Amino acid sequence: MIFLGIDCGTQSLRVVAWDAERGALDSASTNYGLIENLPPGHKEQHPSTWIKALDECLRVLRQQNVDLKAVRGMGVSGQQHGLVVLDSNHEVIRPAKLWCDTSTESQCRHILESAGGLEVYMQEIGNGLPPGFTASKISWIKENEPSRYKQIRFMLLPHDYLNFYLTGEMVAEPGDASGTGYFKVRERQWSRSALSWIDPDHDLKECLPRLIQSAEPAGQLRLSLAKQWGMSSEVVVSSGGGDNMMGAIGSGNVSSGTVTVSLGTSGTLYSYSDSPVIDPAGEIAAFCDSTGGWLPLGCTMNVTVATEMIRSGFVSTELQAFNEMIEQTSPGAEGLVLLPYLEGERMPNVAHGTGIVLGLRPKTASPAHLARAAMEGVTMGLYYGLERLTELGISPTEIRLIGGGSKSRVWRQIVADIFGVSVVCPENQEGPAFGAALQARWCCEGGQIKDLVSAHLSLDERTRHQPKPERQAVYGELYQLYKKFSQTLINSEVFDAHRSFIERED
């Protein structure tokens, strides 16, 4: 009895095949990139890229002798907030605008103005409206591509689109839907008011998929795909969810006290809650999870994308040597601080942000110092989110680390020291993909998701790190400097002025 977990990310698609009886895991992944040569802030991908990657991953799994005929269910984890638009023939109209697209800042302002301000908008939705959310992408197409906008008959998130491809059914579930900007997280319903603020002249709700509960299946695998992939005609496709919701399941974050931190291209941190957690400041997203609860979440757009930029562009070394270099450099990088906002940031909301270095002097003008400052800078950005979660009533007892950055020993220790909480990785590092496979079994068999997670998730105690008091003192002081540095720049409007200069030069 095999369950497949499909994780459609920004840089790759991954499929895990989980043999639920033997506990064995096989996996395959295919890398891809974004559409090139777009203007600054625009991030797009064509949905056909995901389909081709899925076919390739299943081909590789067959080569690994995975018995696809034994597949009983599959679940999809998708990058959140992206917008896939289809015409009346179910054909994709244009490439998907992704979560990391920051080109819609003006559309966010217009939507909030139509609502009567942020307070009114948040009262309706439970969330603010950062540029990454889906709502402003609809408005962007309406304003910039009116002929394409007129063709739109269906609007889907990436995971919804993959579910449609697999089943022929257009459905959505609360977890991923809660990141659109037109979903009421308290009531778990689409918001007609928010949709009217996007377009008062059309009933956009008619373009949205039918909502189902997280424990419900999206449908059965289409017969043509079952034949193509050598699977049973009775394979169930679960509701699936956003990558953060599936990452929560895959890291065992299905009860209070645990905080998951994902060190991926972007960074996220989130914790299970039995009730909605609404942030009046709009910095922490009030998401639903994909098990029936809620998942307050903070997101930063620059994590491994920032460390990799420093590693490849300035340090020019292999990953192992990069980590060793950081490990041999003093905590705090002797005062070198990096704000890793690169092409904008979401927490804090700095759409026109760029990377800025403070404390560069002869003593810190070395690749090692810059490398450490990058890793510490992105971690402090995530700690800003944990600090906000704590203010909203979340009390972390343990940090579960997932994502590519979690494989770094020095990074795990930095997280423990800055966060001041014990850090550990799940034994299974498949994260969202494994979470999707677990959810697929839950949708097939019912029962309690917490029991299923408890029975099949183990922690890798070799990766556990405890905070070191002497380093906590250094980071406590440095974090206050980091936060002041960031807020001073944001309030000074220097980022907006700098972006104007960049756009003229480009």
Question: Could you list the residue range(s) of the whole structural domain that residue 419 is in?
Answer: 243-302+385-465
Is 281 inside a domain boundary? yes
Give yes or no: residues 51 and 118 share one domain. Answer: yes
Give yes or no: residues 391 and 443 share one domain. Answer: yes
Q: What is the pLDDT, as a whole number, of residue 395?
A: 87
Please state whether the peptide bond connecting residue 217 to the residue before it is cis, i.e. omega within 30 degrees of 0. Answer: no
Is 118 inside a domain boundary? yes
Is 405 inside a domain boundary? yes
Instruction: Please state, in angstroms and rounded to a whole number, the distance separating the CA atoms of residues 58 and 51.
Output: 11
Q: Which residue has 């599959």 as its token pair?
A: 74
Cβ(96)–Cβ(48) below 8 Å: no
DSSP letter assigned to residue 89: T
Give yes or no: residues 251 and 217 share one domain. Answer: no
Please, what is the average pLDDT of the chain? Answer: 94
The residues carrying an active-site annotation are 243
Residue 313, beta-bridge partner list: none
- Which residues make Cβ contacts (< 8 Å) with residue 150, sequence separation at least 6? none
Cβ(472)–Cβ(327) below 8 Å: no
Is 309 inside a domain boundary? no
Is 484 inside a domain boundary? yes
CA atoms 156, 175, 244, 419: torsion sign: positive
> Beta strands 258-263 and 241-242: pairing type?
unpaired
Residues in the chain: 506
Of 239, 263, 292, the position where a domain reaches its end is 239
> Beta strands 96-97 and 285-288: pairing type?
unpaired
Cβ(279)–Cβ(292) below 8 Å: no
Give yes or no: residues 70 and 171 share one domain. Answer: yes
287 phi, psi to nearest 5 deg = -90, 155
Query: Residue 52 has which token pair?
Result: 């081709």
Give yes or no: residues 439 and 350 share one domain. Answer: no
Give yes or no: residues 339 and 428 share one domain. Answer: no
Tally of CB atoms within 10 A around 473? 13
Q: How many domains does the chain have?
A: 3
Give yes or no: residues 32 and 137 share one domain. Answer: yes
- Helix (H) / strand (E) element for 504: namely helix 494-505
Of 202, 224, 239, the position where a domain reaches its end is 239
Task: Give every residue of the chain whose pLDDT is below 50, as ranges.
Answer: none
Q: What is the pLDDT, as a whole number, of residue 24?
A: 82
Instruction: Please state, in angstroms and rounded to a whole number, the distance separating the CA atoms of residues 186 and 206.
Output: 22
Is 262 inside a domain boundary? yes
Give yes or no: residues 290 and 164 share one domain. Answer: no
Cβ(190)–Cβ(205) below 8 Å: yes
Q: What region, left, alpha or beta, does residue 278 occupy, with left being phi > 0 and alpha being psi -120 to 50 degrees?
A: beta
Instruction: Please state, in angstroms and rounded to a whole number, the distance separating the CA atoms of residues 421 and 399.
Output: 7
Q: What residue type is assigned to position 40 of the chain?
A: P
DSSP letter assigned to residue 181: S
Instruction: Please state, in angstroms and rounded to a whole number, the distance separating the CA atoms of residues 161 and 171.
Output: 9
CATH code at position 119: 3.30.420.40
Is 311 inside a domain boundary? no
Give yes or no: residues 57 and 171 share one domain. Answer: yes
Q: pTM value? A: 0.88
Give yes or no: residues 54 and 159 share one domain. Answer: yes
Give yes or no: residues 439 and 497 share one domain. Answer: no
443: helix, strand or coil: helix
Give yes or no: residues 353 and 400 share one domain. Answer: no
Cβ(71)–Cβ(61) below 8 Å: no
Is 450 inside a domain boundary? yes
Q: What is the pLDDT, as a whole number, of residue 505?
A: 65
Residue 227, beta-bridge partner list: none
Q: What is the pLDDT, as a whole number, of residue 506?
A: 63
